[in-house]
Amino acid sequence: MQKTIKDKIPVTVLTGFLGSGKTTLLNYILRENHGMKIAVIENEFGEIGIDGGLVVGSTEEIFEMTNGCVCCVAEARDDLLRVIRQLLDRPERLDHIIIETSGLADPYPIAQTFFLDDPIRDETNLDGVIALVDVKHVLRHLDDSQIEAHDNQAVDQIVCADRIVLNKVDLAFEDEIAAVSARVASLNETAEQVRSSFAQIDLKKILGLAAFDQSRKIAAEVDDSHDHHHHQAPWLGDASHDHDASVGSVGIELPGHMNPAAMQAWVQEMRAQNLDNLFRMKGIFSVKDDDYCYVLHGVHNEIEFRPNHPWANETRCNKMIFIGRNLDRTALQARLAECLAAA
């Protein structure tokens, strides 16, 4: 018997450019006392997975997918389907699935996954595409002339969204926020905008939206492309989708422990530089003689290095990822290595 939307598991696709606050929102959702059983699937852009280590420990389950971007690597999409099927096969029913897309992903093909001729279509329902927008930095990505020849993911993410969260309002003045809001509305008139600081939002505004216009629009498009492609997945062989090749990631792992003073000095040094081409930095670190796992977060010049949670059963490690344009791996590796504590 055909299931109704009510019987299906809602799936939220969480999108937003690098550093816009997706993991912060996930942590907030997972911490809120909503009584729901939520599974989170993370898809990262980068050579090493870090986000799993940045999401708070919780009863919800977190699945990391680092084998490619779900929006453009066919194997990664197969992997996404496999993970979802596994979740659906479990005896215990989930209340919600959230897919955090990589900050450079186009959410469209990911959302389309839920309209494919696949058994998951009968079990799940695309609840909504939520786009987080960093009000402080988004305009420079929307106006990035260097990616004109490519799809501009920052634009795609906004265009595709059912609801848009204008995040980091604490970092901007009202006139800047209003300008971003107007620009976002010019890209997507129908999505309601909500504002937040550190992604603290009334969850009713972002979960349980249920199928609405945009989802139906995607469904209609997929149906159209089915007509044209004889039931082939619409994104297969789609040459129009292309990440900007000059944007890449450098992942670095170092043995040992870090010297916190050296790390802070490096952070200060970076804050004073022009970091237009360094979109995002994320790291987890073991600090000498300290029981806490430290995290480093950077979005251009907004950089922080702080203790995050006590190391529990995890193996201590130092992992850092840089995402940006024309990155110099050797220089980054050497500079980070300078912050190691003496053995």
Interaction site with ligand GTP (CB under 6 A): 16, 18-24, 51, 103, 167-168, 170-171, 197-199, 280, 297, 299, 304
As measured in angstroms, the least distance from the Cβ of 199 to ligand GTP is: 5
Residue 321 to residues 45, 59, 130, 295, Cα–Cα distance (Å): 10, 27, 25, 11
Q: Which is nearer to ligand GTP, 238 or 304 (CB)?
A: 304
CB of residue 238 to ligand GTP, shortest distance in Å: 23
Report the C-alpha gap between 332 and 322 in whole angstroms: 9
Instruction: Give the other-Cβ count within 10 Å of 85's Cβ.
Output: 13
Q: Which is nearer to ligand GTP, 231 or 306 (CB)?
A: 306
CB of 85 to ligand GTP, least distance (A): 25
Give the number of other CB atoms < 10 A from CB of residue 269: 11
- As measured in angstroms, the least distance from the Cβ of 9 to ligand GTP is 23
Phi, psi of 85 (to 5 degrees): -60, -40
Rounded distance between C-alpha atoms, residue 292 and residue 311, angstroms:
6
Shortest distance, position 100 Cβ to ligand GTP, whole Å? 7
Tell me whether residue 50 or residue 207 sits nearer to ligand GTP (CB atom). 50
| Sheet of strand 318-325: strand arrangement | 247-254, 318-325, 278-286, 292-299, 302-310
Residue 23 or 113: the one with the smaller Cβ distance to ligand GTP is 23
Position 129, amino acid: V
Closest by CA to 279, choosing from 236, 312, 238, 246, is 246
Nearer to ligand GTP, 9 or 320 (CB): 320
**CB of 165: closest distance to ligand GTP in angstroms?**
10
Q: Which is nearer to ligand GTP, 170 or 223 (CB)?
A: 170
Backbone angles phi, psi at 87, to 5 degrees: -65, -40
